[in-house]
Chains A and B, each alone.
Chain A
């Protein structure tokens, strides 16, 4: 399903600019600054790529008193994001993009059904101005990156290229404290060890999964990592730890450093 694009999407993509169709119209959500810097980095935007997935999240059973990963929810969050991302990437492949810059991966809760979540991945497909194919991901498909146009330029200038957006998710239930345990600490300043250990385990699982994705994409490192915590309307004590970043590789032979203009380094003294 991920590779079979809807007919209207294919029609839309035909009108877009490609490396072989440089006069076509391109769409993007770049700001002017992003657009200019992506071009300065040697790339041309060729079109907006979108992937959507509306997902029904299954029923999760768990224990009130246990710290534990909620695997049904973890799998749902992974699977739905993967579907949205792969559909966006399929659109980029269809327009022969070398990569996708500025990917925004968002989740919307649908108010008429508490079990439905909409996952949206959107970014701008780009091609290398001189047709260099060395920027593609390890599987030959377009690279993906949640970096802005400015960050994309900076990354190339620092000697790295984006390979793949990598992520790790863990939906975790933090155990409720029993009545006696709560009464035992009433009015006291004490560490709540079960909460602390829950944080450690959940965060470690999320980072570990992201790290595994980075290893699988043959990356050297992951840049711009953010760890988000969100509950997406679930019950109290249920929280998703979501680590996301862009896996990178050194440029090596892909682009000559002298082809990238030297920046004027400035530090703002604004508040």
Chain B
């Protein structure tokens, strides 16, 4: 991309037509998303896949496909949804849902993914991965979900397809236990405090002491996020799988003036200076233990057409990572959390 790019851009009719078509498509995408609809170009692809006018596309590995088919799941198409949010560094004071960008971003993406699955005539989306792309711009985050829309043989299309944010093999483990994953719940909390050392110069100089204020700050963020997650789960009338799959936290020192409501409030009280901001995001898979009958009905509907396997539970003695588990890089949106300093 150069300074004089406008001088040299393609000006042949085909390039101009392609740019016009792209602009039209983008406008359709924006209008559709504003109206909570699936973009028309996506609908066309999904309907073609549902009617077998084009090949089905699955994110499943062959082993996952084999097992999924044994449960009567047939892949239809890859579905995906994105909500790209501005995520200011200092959002303290916006901790209540749905204003928190992590909460809003994931729930919006989830809703869009479910709409795509419905457009494909699916009963569920399995193997859903949480993804984020970085384009090098600050203060924003991409909340993307990608998965495989599937139809359960013998069932009509669902009005509200279930979303399983688990690797397909783990989904099968749950199904074996008569438990159906139904979606995700999110808890996110941001909180900040003025620099507590401002009036306590005597501490943290040469001694080994806990930085109590920051410990409390982080504890607050974690507790509030997890409480919010549990509350959301209970509101949905579901049980949360104990093994939440994302627990992301970070702490930042914001030099200069913060922009969140808490920062404004502090300034009103006369405090000017650095602030410490803590953020915690907790995400868990929800499960439904009350739908055993419906699952049995579904199983009955396809029994005899697809072989069902008897599984043996094993402990793999493999040295290092077990090749039987496939969860290592399933979700990568908060992958930097394991690195020093967080993301």
Chain A residues contacting B56 (CB-CB under 8 Å) are: 220-222
Indicate if B310 sits at the interface (CB-CB under 8 A): yes
Most buried by A among B94, B105, B142, B176: B142
Q: Which residues of B lie under 8 Å from residue A200 when comparing CB positions?
A: 29, 33, 39, 42, 82
Q: Verify if A199 is at the interface (C-beta below 8 Å from B).
A: yes
Inside 8 A of B311's CB, which chain A residues have their CB?
265-267
User: By the criterion CB–CB under 8 Å, are A157 and B25 in contact?
Assistant: no
Q: B83 near A211 (CB under 8 angstroms)?
A: no
Q: B292 on the interface (CB 8 Å rule)?
A: no
B87 at the interface (CB under 8 A from A): yes
Given A207-B45, A236-B136, A223 contacting B325 (CB threshold 8 A):
no
Q: Which of the 9-residue segments B118-126, B223-231, B281-289, B312-320 touches chain A?
A: B312-320
Interface size band for A: 35 or more
- Structural contact, A158 and B144, CB atoms closer than 8 A: no
Q: Would A195 and B260 count as touching, CB distance under 8 A?
A: no
Does the CB pair B108–A191 fall under 8 Å? yes
Q: Are B55 and A264 in contact (CB under 8 A)?
A: no
B201: CB under 8 A from chain A?
A: no
Chain A, 48-82, contact with B by CB distance < 8 Å: what is the 0/1 string?
00000000000111111001110100000000000
**Which residues in chain A, 207-225, are within 8 Å of chain B measured between CB atoms?**
207-208, 210-211, 214-215, 219-225
Known interface pairs A151-B62, A191-B85; A208-B45 also in contact (CB < 8 Å): yes
Also in contact, A199 and B84, with CB within 8 A (given A61-B2, A207-B45, A208-B45):
yes
Chain A positions 119-161 with a Cβ under 8 Å from a chain B Cβ: 147, 150-152, 154-155, 157-158, 160
| Residues in chain B near residue A226, CB distance under 8 A | 59
- Given A199-B144, A270-B324, do A67 and B26 touch, yes or no (CB 8 Å)? yes
A151 & B61 in contact (Cβ 8 Å cutoff): yes
Which residues of chain A have C-beta atoms less than 8 A from B315's C-beta?
268-270
- Other-chain contact of B22, A69, A186, A214, A243 (Cβ < 8 Å): A69
- Do residues A223 and B135 form an inter-chain contact, with CB atoms below 8 A? no
Question: Which residues on the B side are within 8 Å of A225 (C-beta)?
Answer: 57-59, 78
Counting CB contacts under 8 A, is A89 at the interface?
no
CB-contact partner of A158 in B30, B54, B69, B325, under 8 A: B69
Give the docked Cα–Cα distance between A103 and B45 (Å).
28
Q: Find chain B residues with CB under 8 A from A194 CB.
A: 30
Which one of B96-104, B206-214, B234-242, B267-275 contacts A? B96-104
In the complex, whether A227 has a CB less than 8 A from a CB of chain B is yes
Min C-beta distance of B192 to chain A, whole Å: 13
Q: Are A197 and B310 in contact, with the CB atoms below 8 A? A: no
Contact at B62–A201, with CB atoms within 8 Å?
no
Check A87 for interface membership: any CB of B closer than 8 A.
Answer: no
Q: What is the distance, in angstroms, from A178's C-beta to the closest C-beta of chain B? A: 13
Contact of B313 with A211 in the complex, beta carbons under 8 Å: no
Contact B312 A264 (CB under 8 A): yes
In the complex, what distance in Å separates the CA atom of A269 from the CA atom of B324? 9
Find residues 23-72 in chain B having any chain A CB closer than 8 Å to their own CB.
25-26, 29-30, 33-34, 39, 41-42, 45, 54-63, 65-67, 69
A267 → chain B, closest Cβ, in Å? 5
Q: Which of A158, A199, A243 contacts B62 (CB 8 A)?
A: A158
Tell me if B99 and A189 are in contact (CB < 8 A).
yes
**A69-B22, A155-B62, A270-B315 as given contacts; A221 in contact with B140, CB under 8 Å:** no
* B100, A151: Cβ atoms closer than 8 Å: no
Assuming the A-B contacts A151-B61, A266-B324, are A192 and B84 also in contact, with contact meaning beta carbons closer than 8 angstroms in the complex? yes
The one of A68, A173, A223 that contacts B60, using a Cβ cutoff of 8 Å: A223
Task: Provide the bound-state CA to CA distance between A59 and B3, in Å.
Answer: 13
Q: Which residues of A contact B84 (CB under 8 A)?
A: 191-192, 195-196, 199
Are B58 and A221 closer than 8 Å at their CB atoms? yes
A193 and B86 CA atoms in complex are apart in Å by: 10
- 30 A-B residue pairings within 8 Å (CB atoms): A59-B2, A61-B1, A61-B8, A68-B19, A71-B18, A152-B62, A158-B65, A193-B30, A193-B33, A195-B140, A195-B142, A196-B30, A196-B82, A199-B144, A204-B41, A204-B42, A207-B57, A219-B55, A220-B56, A221-B56, A221-B58, A222-B55, A223-B62, A227-B146, A245-B58, A265-B309, A265-B310, A267-B169, A267-B312, A267-B314
Supplied contacts A158-B62, A189-B87, A192-B85, 8 more A-B pairs, CB within 8 Å: A62-B9, A71-B18, A193-B30, A196-B84, A219-B55, A227-B78, A229-B133, A266-B314
Residues of A within 8 A of B (CB): 33, 59-64, 67-69, 71, 147, 150-152, 154-155, 157-158, 160, 173-174, 176-177, 185-201, 203-204, 207-208, 210-211, 214-215, 219-227, 229, 231, 235-239, 243, 245, 247, 264-271
| Among all A-B residue pairs, the 7 with the closest Cβ atoms | A236-B136, A268-B324, A158-B66, A187-B259, A155-B62, A195-B84, A221-B56
B residues touching A (Cβ–Cβ < 8 Å)?
1-2, 5-6, 8-10, 15, 18-19, 22, 25-26, 29-30, 33-34, 39, 41-42, 45, 54-63, 65-67, 69, 75, 78, 80, 82-88, 90-91, 94, 99-101, 104-105, 108, 131, 133, 135-137, 140, 142, 144, 146, 169, 172-173, 176, 259-260, 309-316, 322-325
